[in-house]
Structure 1
Amino acid sequence: MKIVIVTIFMALCLFPAYGNHNLEEQAKAIFKSWFVDFDPFQNGAFVDSELGQIPAGWNVGTLKDMLEIRYGKDHKKLADGAIPVYGSGGLMRYAEKALFSGESVLIPRKGTLNNVMRVIGDFWTVDTMFYSVPKKAGAAKYTYHILSALDLASMNSGSAVPSMTTDILNAIKIVLPAENVLKEFDRLTSFFWETIETNKMESQRLAQLRDALLPKLMAGEIDVSEVEI
């Protein structure tokens, strides 16, 4: 019975992650439809650009037009708390203080260069991870999809350790959609990302419950003999 309950706990903790994958795939599909295939704009005029044909009124620019890239900072002197701390490998710990609050695209500076993340709310990034400040509405979601699709590891500027620089990132050529289109994309996909954040919080809550109850269960401090499954 204990093994069954442990298995159920593990499945419950993993379930939100599976849901989040599906939600992100739906957001990605909308991005591809709008900004790769240009489905909603096929009845309008198109113009030639260095990145191929794009809808009239759009432009080609660089990542710097959308995001301000900032450096993370050392976290070792921070006390434990509730603020997530991210490195190039992902979530590292929870600390007492935030480095930034808001929607941001996190881009590895050292290590696993393709591990691009989108976060929102209070967070801290260590010195192996850049964070970014969007310069316009919708920029974070839009550039997250662009950067996630790129092979940033192939742009490595390091020798012993894979490395990324602000100069490389800022110079990446991207299509700049009309601002009203970018805002509408942001509005349309916000539901997916809000649900993802809700699922993340639920997953963390379940994980905390699991970590609190399972040791007691395995030690026999919780009686499950009469539990029906």
Structure 2
Amino acid sequence: ARMDIPVSARFVLYSWQRECCIVRFSRVDEIRSNAKGTTYPEISKGRFRDMDIIVPPDILVKEFSDTANHIVKQVRILKQSTSKLEQARDLLLPRLMSGEITV
């Protein structure tokens, strides 16, 4: 997820793609049913604009964004940690296997 996406856009993108509690926000099937085309289905801007969307109150969007941003930052940190651990493994494993290093 990109960090420069505006708060409301991040909420909309998330809620169109994910399930939240019991309510399903995904509208992929609705979008696909409105898509037309002979080579590949695509949805026109006009059809897309005609689709209704529920916009939550600003406070809910802000709370969601704060939580989502925190999670995105944690994922980024964990990916960096995983990369560093993989590098350490790749450096140490051959030495352990050859007996150069013992545990």
TM-score range, shorter chain: 0.5 to 0.7
Q: Which residue of 2 aligns with 1:45?
A: none
Q: Are 2:101 and 1:223 equivalent residues in the alignment? A: yes
Whose strand fraction is larger, Structure 1's or Structure 2's?
1
Q: Which residue of 2 aligns with 1:83?
A: none
Instruction: Flag the structure with larger Rg.
Output: 2
Q: Which residue of 2 aligns with 1:120?
A: 2
Deviations 1:98-126 (A, max 9, x none): xxxxxxxxxxxxxxxxxxxxx236xxxxx
- Structure 2 residue aligned with 1:167, among 44, 49, 71? 44
Q: Which residue of 2 aligns with 1:176?
A: 55
Cα RMSD for the two superposed structures:
3.9
Q: How does 1:121-160 map to 2 (within 5 A)?
A: 134=5, 136-149=6-19, 150=26, 152=28, 155=32
Going from structure 1 to structure 2, the CA distance change for 1:177 and 1:191 (only over 3 Å counts) comes to same
Going from structure 1 to structure 2, the CA distance change for 1:153 and 1:181 (only over 3 Å counts) comes to closer
TM-score (norm 2): 0.54
Residue identity (%):
20
Whose helix fraction is larger, Structure 1's or Structure 2's?
2
Q: Greater relative contact order: 1 or 2 (C-alpha under 8 angstroms, separation 6 or more)?
A: 1
Deviations 1:63-106 (A, max 9, x none): xxxxxxxxxxxxxxxxxxxxxxxxxxxxxxxxxxxxxxxxxxxx
Where structure 2 has 5 or more consecutive residues not aligned to the other structure, the ranges are 20-25
- Determine helix, strand or coil for the equivalent of 1:174: coil
Where structure 1 has 5 or more consecutive residues not aligned to the other structure, the ranges are 1-118, 122-132
- Structure 2 residue aligned with 1:187, among 30, 48, 66? 66
